[in-house]
Amino acid sequence: IELLKIELEKSTELLENERILMENERIKQNNIQEQLEASLNEKTLDFEEMKRRLVKAIREKADLFNSLHSYEMKLEEEQSRKWVPDEDVLNCTKCNTVFGWTVRKHHCRRCQKIFCHNCSNNWIQGSKINSPQYRICDYCNEKLLKESLTPNDIINIDIINNRETKDDIDLQFEVRAERLPSTTDIQPTS
């Protein structure tokens, strides 16, 4: 019986030591898990901030592109406006009708090219109050109508109308392993 008591005490002591080791291991694992969760939360916040900045940068890029494109179009249009002398044109620029005694030449006051009456029978008000109306060609009239019906400088109405980042925006990123720092390179932030 004494031997059994001694063996029981040894077994109890061994089991108690194992329990203490297991408890210490569990505490260690819990600490590691808490650190990983804190790191994950920090990375999630960083990711959300980077996503917000990316969406903002994309919008700013789109705005800049629209502005640049608009200015380029206006510059090109201004540079192409050159008063065409009457002597240089024998036919209507649009319908190719031959000018003569019955078909007169008319300058479009916007693009400065020469058209027949049928192709330039559009009128716009001058830019100043009480200024006369000006004759413009069908091409310029179509451009003006499109410009007046199209909202200015908008590529994607859905993105522009939503100026704040929504949580339900689904951005997918490809993360390449060669771009990720190794876990030994990561320094803890404090």
Query: Mean pLDDT over residues 38-43, rounded?
Result: 92
pLDDT of 99 higher than 60: yes
Least confident of 13-27, 53-67, 164-178: 164-178
Q: Where do the domains of the chain lie?
A: 1-74, 86-148
Residue 154: per-residue pLDDT: 46
Q: What's domain 86-148's architecture? A: 2-Layer Sandwich (3.30)
Which of helix, strand or coil describes residue 136?
Answer: strand
Residue 136: per-residue pLDDT: 92
User: What's the pLDDT band for 158 if we cut at 50, 70, 90?
Assistant: very low
Taking the C-alpha atoms of residue 133 and residue 141, their distance in angstroms, rounded to an integer, is 13
Least confident of 70-84, 96-110, 117-131, 133-147: 70-84
User: What's the pLDDT band for 152 if we cut at 50, 70, 90?
Assistant: low
Ramachandran quadrant class, 10 (left: phi over 0; alpha: psi -120 to 50; beta: rest) = alpha
Residue 108: per-residue pLDDT: 92
More confident residue, 129 or 174: 129
Residue 121: per-residue pLDDT: 92
What is the per-residue burial (b if ≥16 Cβ within 10 Å, else e) of 126-165?
eeeeeeeebbbbbbbbeeeeeeeeeeeeeeeeeeeeeeeb
pTM recorded for the entire structure: 0.42
